[in-house]
Amino acid sequence: MELLRDVFGNARRGEKIFIYTLRNDNGITIKITNYGGIITTVKTPDKDGNKTNIVLGFQSLDDYLTDAYIENGPFFGCLVGRYANRIAKGKFAIEGKEYTLPINNGENSLHGGITGFDKVIWVPKKIEKPDMVGVELKYRSVHMEEGFPGHVDLTVTYTLNHKNELHVDYKAVTDRETIINLTNHSYFNLTGNKENIFGHSLQLNAKTKTVNDASLIPTGDIEEVAGTPFDFTSPMTIGSRIGELAEGYDCNFILNNPKGKLVKAAILSEESTGRTVEVSTTEPGIQLYTGYWIPEMEGKNGEKFGSYAGVALETQHYPDSPNHPEFPTTSLKPGEVFKSKTVYKFGVK
């Protein structure tokens, strides 16, 4: 196991930003920065032993700080909060008191607002143990930051082990009742971004999904996926039915995990490379987003991105849950501890 820390650059106000390299003995290399908690790199071997980066990201901090990147908001590899996904019209209430969030996605609030956790600087700390290496990230989100109530203290740990598993553990406490929904927004492309993700095979452990309105806000209805383009209960290539959807997939699948156990949620694979990613989580849902709105972008080191360059498998609570009491709750109260875990296991067929 190996853990390295290097300077990644300076943020817009001059703060020094670090990047951590996690490496195990099986050829897995992961790079994480404390700016936005971003996973910039997941380098894994293919069936022939060739290693390449299988997540969308930049090798330069400057690329994450450009106006073009920030305004288009693809959220490459970052931590998302306080509330991942959408809240209808940017409004929710706690005990009758209404709170208003920034509107940044049509008429709705998305991924924590204008300056969500993807753009803040987390306090990092190395994790070095005989069987794992990683980085602990801490951040205090102050009362009414982006419109959310309560001072919230957050800890997110990324750890890589010898089993080729990246564990992402989330923890949060608050001093007044608030809402919370955290995820990591990595996009995978198992070809190393040589091709789009249409040829990737996906299996989801979900027989139902939430029904969205035209602005991707849940109506409150739940529907079976059987017989629809959303049926991934058996492995299907992403591109096989994506043409039936105007903007590809961007929907919440229900994992039937009411007790919050660690359950297998998804298996992503790609035949030409043999690479696989298994996703397990304690969360009740997983958002499948196939990246239709990824902008045409080029990084200073030659990275190129655009529509369908990657697929995001966002483990989280349902969109707009604060306005749907029938959904699993996203409430966090003083004295409670929010905990969540997601595990990405990298392999080769």
Catalytic residues: 185, 314
At residue 176, what are phi and psi to the nearest 5 degrees? Answer: -155, 160
Cα 10 to Cα 4: distance, rounded to the nearest angstrom: 18
Q: Which H helix or E strand runs over 69? A: helix 67-72
Cα 148 to Cα 348: distance, rounded to the nearest angstrom: 42
- Three-point CA angle 246, 251, 254, nearest 5°: 150
Q: 119 by DSSP, 3-state: which? A: helix
Taking a C-beta distance cutoff of 8 angstroms, is the pair 17, 61 a contact?
A: yes
Taking a C-beta distance cutoff of 8 angstroms, is the pair 162, 341 a contact?
A: no
Residue 121 DSSP code: B
Does a cis peptide bond (omega within 30 degrees of 0) precede residue 82? yes
In terms of phi and psi (left: phi > 0; alpha: psi -120 to 50; beta: otherwise), the region of 282 is: alpha
Residue 72 DSSP code: H
- Three-point CA angle 218, 253, 118, nearest 5°: 80
